Copies of this chain bind each other. A is one copy, B any other.
Amino acid sequence: MAFYSSVSAAALEQLNLPLYERIRINIQTRLVEQGWDPAQAIPTEQMLAQEYQVSIGTIRKAIERLVQEGLLYKAQGRGTFIRQPDFKDSLLRFFRYRDQEGKQTIPTGVVKSIKKVAPIKTINNHLKLADHMELIQLRRLRLVGSNVVLSEQIWLPESKFAPLLRFAPHEFGNLLYPFYYQHCGQFILSAKETLSFTSEQEDEDLNAHQGDLLVNIERIAYNLENQPVEYRVSLGQPENFKYELRIT
């Protein structure tokens, strides 16, 4: 039983939850605590069944929810792996613009500036930071060709993301989240997005003046431990925005 981590021994015994739920929590905790390699399989169902001294069906039930939530995926014959989230349902994906040939294109991201800034009360609240905690602020544009289709501001807790300050804007690639993971060990697993409208914002990159109506997408992104670690505001022109979903 030395296998159980400190946190989980309590979780496994105390809570009035089904066995498979307690095991699910335990597995999730282990994955988060011990760090992990997205390329390497987690222990097999057989091994987990032995380790936890339960039947394999119970292990499968425990893992089922982790798969549904997107933390894991299964590959028959290979194993069960940590999943790289792709955010394919993000509202930002629905800003599609046509290039010269009329083809739909996903904008590329370019960081324009990065700096350390003083705490901002509302943003510290969003990130569940104490009032005195400093922030890192990025300005970033999303481009199709040379057209600016989205103008972004991003705030991160300085405590977790200080290593980013060593880089110049041009050293950031197209994608930010792999960069976060590589240099700060912060793995973004999920996010909450809000779509609304504003006519209060001015934005020279978007060529928008006070009074012009813009689409305003706020995102709070969460790491593996479900802590909010990024607050982002993206502004865009509404004309070419188109969002689809299926409901029941």
Contact = CB atoms under 8 A, between A and B. Distances in A.
Contacts of A247: 85, 87, 89-90, 190-193
A85 B189 contact: no
Given A213-B213, A213-B238, A238-B213, A196 B248 contact: no
A98 to B, nearest CB: 15
A194 interface: yes
Interface size class of A (residues with CB under 8 A): 20 to 34
A223 to B, nearest CB: 13
Contact of A194 (B190, B213, B243): B243
Nearest to A92: B247
A109 to B, nearest CB: 17
A246 B190 contact: yes
Given A238-B213, A241-B197, A191 B91 contact: no
Nearest to A193: B245
B245 A91 contact: yes
Interface in A220-245: 238-239, 241-245
Interface string A135-160: 00000000000000000000000000
Which of A69, A243, A247 has most B Cβ within 10 Å?
A247
28 contacts: A70-B248, A85-B248, A87-B247, A89-B245, A89-B247, A90-B247, A91-B243, A91-B245, A189-B248, A190-B246, A190-B247, A191-B247, A191-B248, A192-B244, A192-B245, A192-B246, A193-B246, A193-B247, A194-B242, A194-B243, A195-B195, A195-B242, A195-B243, A196-B241, A197-B239, A197-B241, A213-B238, A238-B238
